[in-house]
Amino acid sequence: MNKIYGLISEFAPVRKDASRVIISYGMQPEPDGEHATWYEVDFYKKQTANPSLDAIKTAVKADINARTDEKILKGFVWTPEGGQPISVWLSKENQDNFSEAQRLAAAMPEAVLPINFKLGETADGEPVYHEFQTAEELTGFYLQAFGFLKQTLEEGWQEKDSIDWTPYDPEAAAAAAAPKKGKKSSK
């Protein structure tokens, strides 16, 4: 996936260069009205010179899924009460561990708490731990993480559902570019 910043006039749903077919999607205009950001997916001509609409849909949706997964993994920031914001690594394994700990702490806090989790790492690669002392603190953390996960998934689904595939349909584009058959105009 490539995130592009450029002039709105440079955006093209499908374009080709010497070795690639480039599919652009998700254009978001900037406040200046002249520039925008968008994402690009490449098809190498050796693989397919003219990707079908189904291939384009598959590639674009896979790209959106990858960005959504990346945001889930690295985008959640939690601030413990009285503490500093922590970037929390929401891998599938961590999600499962947080869920199970929260479930057990709600049912049997004395058997589970306190519990220490490695939530992420600093920019320097140093681990960041947090010890949850109460079921309420762990539940609050878990509900915020779950809310972030839910919102991020919904944003990904909405992005995929909002794409107008018409400009990407090679058959429709070819039909639109072909000379019209029929009556000649009389002047």
Strand partners, 5: 37
Mean pLDDT of 112-136: 94
Q: Is 154 or 186 the better-scoring residue by pLDDT?
A: 154
Strand partners, 128: 120
How sure is the predictor about 114, in pLDDT bands with cuts at 50, 70 and 90? very high
Alpha carbon 88 to chain centroid, angstroms: 17
Q: Is 181 or 70 the better-scoring residue by pLDDT?
A: 70
CA distance 52 to 47: 12
Instruction: Dump pLDDT digits (tens) for 81-92.
Output: 999 999 999 999
Mean pLDDT of 127-137: 96
Give me the pLDDT at residue 177, please.
66
Give me the pLDDT at residue 69, please.
97
If you ran DSSP here, which 8-state letter would residue 179 be given?
A: P
Q: Which residues of 84-101 are buried (b: 16+ CB within 10 A; e: fewer)?
A: eebbbbbeeebbeebeeb
Instruction: Dump pLDDT digits (tens) for 39-61.
Output: 999 988 877 778 999 999 999 99
> Which residues are CB-neighbours of 89 under 8 A, at least 6 positions away?
73, 74, 119, 120, 121
Is it the case that residue 176 has pLDDT exceeding 90? no
Measured CA to CA in angstroms, residue 75 lies from 148, 161, 177 at distances of 9, 22, 43
CA distance 157 to 61: 9
Q: Is 180 or 79 the better-scoring residue by pLDDT?
A: 79
How sure is the predictor about 110, in pLDDT bands with cuts at 50, 70 and 90? very high
How sure is the predictor about 67, in pLDDT bands with cuts at 50, 70 and 90? very high
Give me the pLDDT at residue 170, please.
67
**Residue among 135, 103, 101, 139 nearest 118 (CA):** 101
Give me the pLDDT at residue 49, please.
77
